[in-house]
Each structure stands twice: as C-alpha cells, then as structure tokens.
Structure 1
Amino acid sequence: MSANLRALRRRILTPGISATSLDVRGFHKKSPAAQELLETVGRHFLEGYGHAVEVRSTAELEDRLERLPTRFRGFAYEGAAMGATVLDALPGSRGNRLAGLLAGRGRDHVYMAYVGIGWAMARLPRPLWPDLSRTDPLIRWLVLDGYGFHQAYFKTERYVHGQYEDPRFAWSWGSPSYARRAVDQGIGRALWFVAGTEPDLAATLIEKFPEGRRADLFSGTGLAAAYACGAEEGELAQLARRAGPYLRQLQQGAAFAAEAREKAGLTVAATEVAVGALCGISPAEAAALCRATRPSGPAAPDGSGYEKWRQDIAAAFVSREEK
C-alpha cells in the first residue's frame, strides 16, 4: 500500500480530535490546566491510534510512539493497541498488527495496551471482537476495564449519570459476573475524566452508584488519579478522605498505576506526587508491592486470581499502617 493510501486510511479510520474535547463531552472543567491535561491525553491517544492504522510495520509504529513525550506515551500505546485491533478486524487484514505490537515494545506497555483492546471491542461488532486466547489470563480483565472506560467516556449520560449496568454483558474469556466488575473498574477510571480531575466531584459521582459497585469504582478512580494525574497533593488527600471505607481500593488502583508507569519507564514527577499522596509511598515502592503480591501459576478464568491480587495489594496497605 502506498504512503498516500495509508495516510487516507488513517484519516478515514481515526476519530476526530474534537471527540476528546471536554466541551464536546460535557465534562467538568476544573481549571484551564486540568482541561489542557485531559485533552492532551486524548490527543496522544488518538495520535497512537492514527499511527497504528497508518504504518507499514511494528518497527515503524514503535519508532513513532517512542518519540512521544514520556508523560503521554502510555496513552499513545493504548490508542495504538485500539488501532491495531480495529485494523486486524478489517476484511483483508492479516490479523497480526496487535500481536506484533504486544510482542515488541508494547510488552512494557501491556497494561495500557490491554485497555486499548477494550476500546476497540466497544467499537466493533461482537463477531469481530479479537481472539484473546494468547493474552495473559491474569491481567486480561484490563481489556474490560478499557471497555468500561469507553462506555462511560462516550455514553456518559447512561453509564455515569444513569449508573447503567448491563445485566446481559458477557464475553468469551472469563466469568460473566466478574466481567461486570472489571467494566466498573473502567467506569471508575473514566469518572476522573468526567469530573475533570476534581476529587470531590469524582467521589460524589461514585456515591450515586449502588454501594456494591463503589469499591471497583474507587479503584478505577485511584488508577486514573495516579496515572493521568491532574490533582495537587491536598486535593488527593481530600479524595482519600472521601473514599472512606473504600480507601484501600483507591490505593490499590493507584498502585496499579505506579506499576504500569514503572514497568514502561514512564514515571514522572506528577506520578510521584499522586502515588505519594494516595499511598504514602513512592511509585517504585508501590510497583514493587504489586509485583510481590502478583499470583504465580495459571490464572483461573473466573477472575478469582486477578481479584485476589487486587485484594492482596489493598491488604498490604492495611499492614503497612499497622506496623
């Protein structure tokens, strides 16, 4: 395919940049700086997506992604995974773009890449959903985290303000009951964007959901607050207070964010502030905690291994305070 045709394919397949505007989405605008941050996240996500559907090879894609700013590179890999998944689903595709990304530099960004797969699933008809049999069964649930984020981000009225939960949602790669919890974790992550990084608003949105869903929502919000960032130390302390009985889940999400950034070599000053404020430790320490508690051996398809990992991380923060 010629360069001109690849550029045309990118223009046709890539969503418009206006889709990430807080004004278009109707999200809360806390401050110009917070708005700029969240919209920059969206721009780099779409840039990664666009590169994935335009380039000729994984090596070319990696070269483009690795040139992007450290703070936003993970979002670009997330978008690239979405783009690769969509491209693999098109008629005539060899179906190897996503596999190539995950086998290369994308391995270091695997958490964000899995989330990007979930974005693609939200846009593709079910018959075109990707084959996930070769993904890591322990963290495969992050795919549904990405699906939930997409639904809350683009269908905010229904999934956030209406607290919608699809009782029929199921997928082929694990327990339907835990699938809904993983989707909620993604919805919680999206709430940080819907709230414009305003901790009180994020907490208020969560409190409108049924109590049984709040732990997963706070976990997702904690992940976004520590990965995307956008709040000062005092604001994050307020988020921790508002979490109340779900503080440990909030901290678990923040620890996951630290692990994702540390694994990819993307830790920045904002990560240090956020993880320190929410967890009381450095990103390197939080990442080490995630690795130390990660289950070994085969992961069960019912999500129990993934959930135990999350619970063990949360319990570790309790143990730290008791010492």
Structure 2
Amino acid sequence: MAKHFHVNTPLLESMGMSKRVGTTVYMKMENSQPAASFKIRGIGHLCQQLARQSKGVVCSSGGNAGIATAYVARKMGVPATIIIPSSSPQLVVQRLQDEGATVKIVGKVWDEANAEALRVAEAEGLTYVPPFDHPLLWQGHASLIAEVAASLGPSVKPGAVLVSVGGGGLLCGLVQGLKDVGWTDVPIVAMETVGADSFNAAVKAGRLVTLDDITSEAKCLGAKTVCKQAFEYSQSSELTIISEVVTDQQALQAIQTFLDEERVLVEMACGAVLAAVYSGLIGRLQDEGRLPTPLGPLLVIVCGGSSINLEQLSSLKEKLQT
C-alpha cells in the first residue's frame, strides 16, 4: 500500500509573473498531481483513513474531486460512484469512466449532485467522500505547505500565498499547513470569480451566505456555500485572509497568458488565482496597504485542471469574448 497517493510537486519560479509583481513568484505546480489537481492530497488521505474496508466510495464533484476519488479508489481496489452536475464538461465524464468509476449525472449545480451522493451513501452503505468540507481533507492538503517550506529552506518565507477558493477545502488546508510550519503571519489572498464567489459574499456579510446560483464559467469553484471552517478562518484575528474577486474574462485571460508564458494549460478555477497576478491586483493591494511593500516572494498555488482541453478553451473564448 502506497504511503500516500499524491506526489511532491515541483516548486518553480515564474519569470513572467515575477517581472509583473516586482518580487520572486514561486508556482506550486499541483496540476502535475496524478489526478491533475491538489485534491488528491486530501482525498487520498481521507480514503486511507476511512475507506480501507469500504464496499465502495461515493463523491459528488463537477471535476477534480471526482477524478481524485476515482483515481484513489482504483488504486485501492474499491468501487467508486461519482455524481456530477449537468454543468460538468464531457471530458470530465470520459476521464472518470477511464478511471473505472460509475458516473451519474444529477442536478444542475454541485449542491444538487451532493444531496444525491449523501442519499446514495446512506442507501447503499458506501463511504461518502466530501469534496472540500472535512478535517481529514484539510490535513491532507496541509502537506502542500510542508513541501514548500522544505523546498524554500529555513531562511525564506513567502510574502503572501495566493489561492483559488471554491468550497474552501484548499484554503483550510493551507491555513493548517501555515500553522504547522509557523507561518501564520503570512497573508493569504483568496481568489474567486464573479458568480462563484460564496466565500467573498460570506466575508462581506459577516456570515455564511448561500448563492442563488453559480453563474461563473469556473464551474469547479461552484459551491453555493463555502465551508464553515473557511469562513471562520476569515474572521480570525490571528490570520490575514484577503478575499478578492475577478471576472470570468480576467480568469480566461489569465489562463491564456499562463499557457503562453509557462506552456501549461489549467482550468478557469485556477485562472482565478493567476488573474491576481496578471490583472495587477497584487499591485493594487500593495497600493491600498493591504499587502506590504516591498513584498517577499509570492507563492501561487497552481491548483490544477482536469476539466480543460483546447476544445474547452475555444468554447470558453467564444462564450466570454462576446
């Protein structure tokens, strides 16, 4: 049995991004995980803890969490049922089937697929794998920061960590990881797209908010309510979490620039974090005094992307550039 399912991903310096923000930018390349995203860290950890004797796992996901669950289940020799909303691209369905999972399409958004996953878990006695809201997931995701700290060495600490927020699982994992290595004074810039901004809505309202609908093309950021722990961290006086929102157009522009400069294609959900650099947001936060000047090295979590290919990129361009 493998010690864990994830790999220690490369930490690369980006010349293009560094030039834009005037400080070194390191990219944590989670897109190079076996299931193409950071999700494998938490889901692998959770399944090892909860699903060893399971007669099967069930996960609700429009993309990366489902693919990570299907991958882990295949490696563990456990059957997987993945329930996805109808908004998920066909290439995700194909990828899930290639991993040997049973795919069911239920509802229009993740929340509806999730209600079905909980029902199936109960009815069929399967292990439910939550895509973002579970302490074991956060524990698994925290390994990302441990790797960064080991790569940078004791003399270097990030000036800020940039991350995309969907349901908030990665954000919770990063906070835990920062605590583990003693970096709680490092600010986190949490990025979402307009129309998939449940974290930003909660931060603004001072309480959890449920969005009416997910209208962003960044479907993988599409949880209508962010997890409670992520919101609580945003309210904590010990942490600095800056919540910001970009448009779908900015996220799309960012993935195209990233493809040109770094020769890597990532999905819209990841474009949200890249847009923080490419759209000049970091400079604006410095001007507003919300990030320090000068700024220490930036850590950008390139969270991944299994729901994108060139065809999908072309259709996004057509949709968003009208």
TM-score, length of structure 2 as denominator length: 0.30
Larger fraction in helix:
1
Larger fraction in strand:
2
Question: Which structure has the higher relative contact order (CA within 8 Å, separation 6+)?
Answer: 2
TM-score, length of structure 1 as denominator length: 0.30
